[in-house]
Structure 1
């Protein structure tokens, strides 16, 4: 039945007045809400979430989510819940700068966890610095990141200035090898790690037979490996990531290069490498800038919780994502206000016990935790070298 016929024009008039009062009071309530007041604290996250390195980026993100979910389950920070705002930098420096600009322009983002790759973190860090926005990298190992003089840049992993020499010493002292070919993927991470290995290896009496670069995304290394085979090195050291390393190791085996050890760094020590290389991965070595997860107190509970939450076991970088989030959470707990300025002010004083051990930061923003571990693939599984 028509409303006007039943109640008349006056009835309609009073209903409209009532609606108007309701809307005005609602708007007034919103306007009277104190500026900047929110029940949510937003933390940015940046890593490759698509493309060939997405698996490692997803481990980082999931690790960060575990730390955030844990604090939210306890009521958050001063009654405010934390929210992770994740963006995909595609492991590309230009995309990383674009992501950094978006986070910098959003005043609700109080800190950023990221990026995975040194080649992404280094250019992005300048954007965050201009915005007074703390960035905590879980996994960027190139020393240059914290040598720029920026007071807002921190990381929970140690650097290639330690990882490269660590691998060189392992090759010389444990594997007893004296000749090597050194390859890198021409990125800030890969080239920097390879440089540090080569420098330390030569200083210890090792001989570099060839130094060569490949491109990220390359899949066919047959011609390069055939050339390397003719040099008869004892070791190939590769500074780069698991997609290229997996293909390289498979092709080494198909060319009969079984007696040449393949050694790499933390960009390769990932389950995804074994998925690519399969049984050919066995015997591959790779260092990591943290402890073996099996040797960490409380690791079983972490693995079980991660597996239940995400449906698969954690890769090694889940630990780094977790601790990078803990660094930001600890700063937010210490900060007088959950804003950029106060987080930046307290960040140098942050200290906590996380999955990687005890973390605090030196004057450059580097972690004081310098644990390094060498792994080898046995039975198609990464295992720490005794």
Structure 2
């Protein structure tokens, strides 16, 4: 099949996918693709700000991705209720990346080249964002992820590969890996093994964790033979056996939910996980994950006692968002990265208003100024809009944290420590700061 035929096929496929899965809880504004193919950065300017949402509604991370488009739509609805952006309503176009880089690339191609969006909220999986980001940058579209935490984005940003069209509201795994190492040290673990999903996210996290933990005096039992599992694997018995070998105090497991639950089931069935604490990350911070992992014969979660880290969120902005979320989402729980999704969407709209233009270039030029500048601190997006319309400067304080974005698009945060209860439910039990390593 020729390249042109492939592109047409993918666009049609994604369009069908949008019709079947793209409707959000709060509704969307119908959008009509423009015919301006010569300058994708100006098409949104004349018809009002158009944003895209790229999230894992299906696939390995769907248990976390379900509420993300709802949070993005809530942000858009909130801003539209107080006047929109640059005098016009904002449109949000949602796409399912299926937790798959190929599907994500097709979806971002549709969003940027057919829908002509100026900014994209997403994706969540680092592997998907890695693939999608090249398309966004090529089309001068600002991309803000609420959860792609791989350090590879920092490295590429430092090389100037993104031209400023990238940011994220969750801190990179450089910090979370160090936070997980700090948690391991705090728990008194001396000998730890690792097992990670074999992609950008897992391998980069592994490197940072090993460095931080060994620098602090800990021992990684399988440092010379790291266990990395295939994201497409359907059986993981040998990987589980290797990860839990040699009686570690704990196993740092950097997983995705569907495949990760298979690995931990395999360890349990082989009798390897007894007396070993599993250390988890934000990628599996979901009760759906503990349900997938399963229970013992007496109904106790096989993950009971497991500990994990997740980017924390606190402060006035979170309280305000929590109230709004409960009111507008029919009592849905605020799951992991929902505040980060809200903030990413709000930042795109505030930056567009600050620039006076509904383009990716305009958003890029103002994103750091409204997120971490010297203006008036605001937690209410509508208050921020009102000040910007008066020509004043703002410093948006997000529900996920201060969202102070640096020159590489990164933020630094504090991490919540969570634990799996015997019934499989989750609870926040502590906070931890990254353990800085050299």
Pick the TM interval, shorter chain: 0.7 to 0.9
Q: Which residue of 1 aligns with 2:326?
A: 304
Q: Which residue of 1 aligns with 2:402?
A: 358
Quick check: 1:134–1:340 contact (8 Å CA) kept in 2? yes
Please list, as runs of the form range in 1=range in 2, the aligned pairs for 1:317-332 lying within 5 A after superposition. 317-332=337-352
Q: TM-score, normalised by structure 1?
A: 0.83
Q: Distance in 1 between matches of 2:192 and 2:400?
A: 31
Equivalent in 54, 59, 63 of residue 51 of structure 1: 59
Aligned length: 348
Q: Which residue of 1 aligns with 2:429?
A: 385
Q: Which residue of 1 aligns with 2:306?
A: 284
Q: Distance in 2 between matches of 1:129 and 1:258?
A: 48
Structure 1's 383 and 299: CA in aligned 2 closer, same or farther, altered over 3 A?
A: farther
Q: Distance in 1 between matches of 2:418 and 2:53?
A: 28
Q: Which residue of 2 aligns with 1:9?
A: none
The CA deviation at 1:163 is 0.7
For structure 2, which runs of at least 5 residues remain unmatched after alignment?
1-42, 295-300, 372-395, 431-438
The CA deviation at 1:199 is 1.4
Q: Which residue of 1 aligns with 2:201?
A: 189
Quick check: 2:143–2:165 contact (8 Å CA) kept in 1? yes
- Computing the radius of gyration from Cα coordinates, the structure with the larger value is 1
Q: Distance in 1 between matches of 2:260 and 2:317?
A: 26
Q: Distance in 1 between matches of 2:281 and 2:316?
A: 19
The CA deviation at 1:245 is 2.6
Aligned alpha-carbon RMSD (Å)? 2.4
Equivalent in 407, 413, 438 of residue 370 of structure 1: 413
Structure 1's 328 and 295: CA in aligned 2 closer, same or farther, altered over 3 A?
A: closer
The CA deviation at 1:260 is 0.5
SS of 1:385's partner is strand
Q: Which residue of 1 aligns with 2:153?
A: 145
The structure richer in helix per residue is 1
Structure 1's 146 and 132: CA in aligned 2 closer, same or farther, altered over 3 A?
A: farther
Quick check: 2:167–2:409 contact (8 Å CA) kept in 1? yes
SS of 2:90's partner is strand
Q: Which residue of 2 aligns with 1:5?
A: none
SS of 1:232's partner is coil
The CA deviation at 1:160 is 0.8
The CA deviation at 1:100 is 2.4
Equivalent in 204, 211, 218 of residue 233 of structure 2: 218
After superposition, the C-alpha distances for 1:37-87 in whole angstroms (9 at most, x for unaligned) are 766421011122222322322222111111111112223224411121111
Structure 1's 306 and 255: CA in aligned 2 closer, same or farther, altered over 3 A?
A: farther
Structure 1's 229 and 56: CA in aligned 2 closer, same or farther, altered over 3 A?
A: closer
Q: Distance in 1 between matches of 2:316 and 2:420?
A: 15
Quick check: 1:292–1:373 contact (8 Å CA) kept in 2? no
The reply on whether 1:234 has 2:254 as its aligned counterpart is no
After superposition, the C-alpha distances for 1:331-384 in whole angstroms (9 at most, x for unaligned) are 1221212122222221221221221122221111112x4222221112422212
Q: Which residue of 2 aligns with 1:255?
A: 270
Quick check: 1:307–1:314 contact (8 Å CA) kept in 2? no
Q: Distance in 1 between matches of 2:84 and 2:94?
A: 19
Quick check: 1:121–1:145 contact (8 Å CA) kept in 2? no
Structure 1's 228 and 295: CA in aligned 2 closer, same or farther, altered over 3 A?
A: farther
Structure 1's 275 and 230: CA in aligned 2 closer, same or farther, altered over 3 A?
A: closer
Larger mean Cα displacement after TM superposition, 63-72 or 253-262: 253-262
The CA deviation at 1:158 is 0.4
After superposition, the C-alpha distances for 1:242-267 in whole angstroms (9 at most, x for unaligned) are 22232333333333322101012110
For structure 1, which runs of at least 5 residues remain unmatched after alignment?
1-34
SS of 2:66's partner is helix
Quick check: 1:375–1:383 contact (8 Å CA) kept in 2? yes
Larger mean Cα displacement after TM superposition, 221-230 or 142-151: 221-230
